[in-house]
Structure 1
Amino acid sequence: MSTDPIRAHRSVPTAAADPSASSTRPSHLAARREQISFLSAGQRCDGWVYQPAGPGPHPCLVMAHGLGGVRGGVLPDIAACFAAAGIAILVFDYRYSGTSAGLPRGLVDISKQRDDYRAAVAYARRFRGVDARRIALWGTSFSGGHVLSVAAEDPGIAAAIIQNPFVDGRCTAAAAIRSAGRLGVARLTWEGLRDQLRRRLGWNPHRVALVGPPGTVALITTPDAVPGYQRILPTDLAGWEAAVPARIVLQMRNDRPALRAQHVVCPLLVCVCDHDDISPAAAAARVVARAPRAELRRYPIGHFDIFTQPWLDQVVGDQIGFLRRTLLIHTADDSENSSATEPSP
């Protein structure tokens, strides 16, 4: 791409860029973080484990970023808050992103990312000091759909949280048409077809920008896309790709994890942004109607506002309350002999 709206926009100050604006940041001091890696389909996924203070075994929450993100963005602040509440956290980068292995760089593939999530859960269950029977999942935006899918197929998951989630590709496509127009969506589909053809010919990927201003060709072009994405990126952009192989466009419309919500048997917290122009609130709310143990929290904000103050503290506080009720209230007998040894790298 000839221009990068994200990098060009990074000089614009935002509230989230000011450490004093987020009361979550000091909680990094409450947990010990170590770097880990695990294999998914024979390739390395990198991540961090946050170990809470006090004796284990601890419940563990597995977290991953949204579309095109990297684990070093806003997730460490949120993970540290959960760890301060007594929950171990595993945060990871999918293959092809961040510091994880895989080519082409920046590839977003729904099936592969869900395999990575499953591999992360398996790793967490074997990690030292973790109660393998109290594994929970957390997903935001695009990873919300992954969490819903993995939880639907794994009855051993103890709890799950999805926020501003991508749960129905058809609803998201309709929102994209409202935002970018039919011509804009058609142009984006053409980019996906070009990349798919290049993949079949064995050529290098054809890439499309993750975000762009309204009227441009990018995966997300809502008015809040560029400033919103800028707020959730780390200062160090190493491993982050501003443009990704465009073939993901062809996968998204037919991905509808919401249709499996009735199979999610664990407690499920759905945090919805009522003014979300990217992941429609109505689709997420329907998940609550289908999932047997779901709870709904609604916030009068847009897609990216969930990562800024004062909403960040409110949402994280609601999620900690949910996790305390579902993961931390247990008898001593429940956790006895449930800790496992650390897996080999």
Structure 2
Amino acid sequence: MPRKDVSFKTSDGLTLKGWFFTPESSSSKLPCLVMAHGWSALKEMDLDAFAEHFTSKLAISCLVYDNRCFGDSEGEPRHEIIPALQQADYSDAITYAQSRDEVNPDKIGIWGSSYSGGHVLLVGAVDRRVKSVLSQAPLTDGWANFNRLIRCDFAPGLNQMFQQDRLARMAGEKPMTIPVVHENPMETSALPTPDSYTFFSEWEKKSNWKNEVTVKSVELLRGNDPSHHIHHIAPTPLLMTVAESDVLTPTDIALEAYSRAREPKQLHIIPGGHFDAYTGSNFERNAGCQTEFLKKTLCS
């Protein structure tokens, strides 16, 4: 499918860079699906596969971009994740999509996965321009997720690290960082699960992804509660995709959030763990369900 390199400005002046996908041919203004990746991930890490799938099956366009401070997008310090800013960037991406001649400004959907799967729940609730929300394997409750991932005897050491980082920043020093993943889940990392290490270490070999995130990013994860307003998404349609054996954004935490959403909503449970939505037959099952949802809610 045709793909163009694009860039747009955020409300605080950063340039975010990405791709704009369209079908092979179209004679009318198209709905647009705005897409960004999850925790530290880059657009090259399979977002093109989803966008190409959607634009090959539907009369739809897709705006895919790198989050601020990552990949091709601007932002300092590098590899810092501030949830509120990433959420605000979704709304700026919507504005950019609406400004494009190819796009029907009244038919905008948002798609997110993992950390951004949580972002779209909040944005879908508070930005009423959104007409369809697709949330894949989302982080819905940072407090619960943090305390599920981090052993209780490790938490005091992390709290001390958060304090040291804040003091160092105030003194003008560079932000402290930790690895996103580590081969040994007992070592300090942001995502201490074996499947996280497998997924990211493979992409490290074939992309510009860096195994680094700021300590502040981890501290802010704990306070990020993107599903707080999930019941306010309605009457905008919501599709939540949940992996039945997810240990990174645990299945039960996501299902609890889904239970608080109001109709119209749809739940799709896929086999496997957190990263299985991107691969093999699961990708076809997952993207196929999302395509049908877009067909009904955004492309009708």
Alignment check: 8 A CA contact 1:189 1:249 kept: no
- Structure 1 position 220, deviation (Å): 0.8
1:51 aligns with 2:22: yes
The residue aligned with 2:46 is: 74
- Matched to 1:285, the amino acid is L
Residue 103 of structure 2 is aligned to residue 133 of structure 1: no
**Residue number among 271, 280, 288 corresponding to 1:309 in the alignment:** 280
Structure 2 residue 223 is matched with structure 1 residue 254: yes
Q: Which residue of 1 aligns with 2:62?
A: 89
- What SS does the aligned partner of 1:131 have? strand
Alignment of 1:148 with 2:89, yes or no, is no
Q: Is the Cα–Cα contact under 8 Å of residues 193 and 247 in structure 1 kept in the other structure? A: no
Amino acid at match of 2:41: G
Whether 2:147 is the aligned partner of 1:169: answer: no
Partner of 1:297: 268
Deviations 1:284-327 (A, max 9, x none): 22232222222111123111111111111110011001000111
User: Do the aligned partners of 1:62 and 1:120 also contact (CA within 8 Å) in 2?
Assistant: yes
Distance change in 2, residues 1:186/1:311 (3 Å): farther
Q: What is the rounded CA distance, in whole Å, between the counterparts of 1:103 and 1:45 in structure 2?
A: 12
What letter corresponds to residue 191 of structure 2 in structure 1?
A: I
TM, length-normalised to structure 1: 0.82
What is the CA deviation profile of residues 52-104 of structure 1, one whole-angstrom value per residue up to 9, with x for unaligned ones? 12222111000001100111111111111011122100000121110111221
What's the counterpart of residue 222 of structure 1? Answer: 193
Change (3 A) 1:133 1:260: same
Identity across matched positions, percent: 31
1:216–1:269 CA distance, 2 compared to 1 (3 A): same
Write the letter of the residue equivalent to 2:277: I
The one-letter amino acid of 1:140's match is S
Equivalent positions of 1:312-327 (< 5 A) are 312-327=283-298
Larger deviation: 38-47 or 287-296? 287-296
CA apart distance, 1:228? 2.1
On the 8 A contact 2:39/2:116 being kept in 1, the answer is yes
Question: Any gaps of 5 or more consecutive residues in structure 2?
Answer: none
- Higher-Rg structure is 1
C-alpha contact 2:32 2:62 (8 A) present in aligned 1: yes
Report 1 or 2 for greater relative contact order, CA contacts < 8 Å, sequence distance ≥ 6.
1
Q: Does 1:204 align with 2:177?
A: no
Query: Would you say how many aligned residue pairs link Structure 1 and Structure 2?
Result: 294
Do the aligned partners of 1:169 and 1:255 also contact (CA within 8 Å) in 2?
Answer: yes
CA distance in 2, matches of 1:117, 1:190: 32
* Secondary structure of 2:116's aligned partner: helix
The answer as to 2:79 corresponding to 1:106 is yes
Secondary structure of 2:48's match? helix
In the TM superposition, residue 124 of structure 1 has moved relative to its aligned partner by 0.7
Cα distance in 1, alignment partners of residues 156 and 189 from structure 2: 12
Q: How far is the alpha carbon of 1:232 from its aligned partner?
A: 5.2
Contact 1:207 1:244 in 2 (8 A): yes
Give, as a single letter, the amino acid of the residue that structure 2 aligns with 1:121.
Answer: I
**2: CA distance, partners of 1:231 / 1:133:** 39
Aligned position for 1:333: none
Do 1:269 and 1:322's aligned partners in 2 also have CA atoms closer than 8 Å? yes
Say yes or no: does 1:273 pair with 2:258.
no
**Cα distance in 2, alignment partners of residues 79 and 328 from structure 1:** 15
Aligned to 2:214: 245
SS of structure 2 residue aligned to 1:310: helix
- Deviation, 1:233, is 5.7
Query: Which amino acid in 2 is paired with 1:57?
Result: K
Report the Cα distance in structure 2 between the residues aligned to 1:45 and 1:224, rounded to whole angstroms. Answer: 29
DSSP-derived class of the 2:138 partner? coil
Aligned partner of 1:264 among 229, 233, 254: 233
Write the distance in 2 (CA, Å) between the matches of 1:100 and 1:234.
Answer: 20
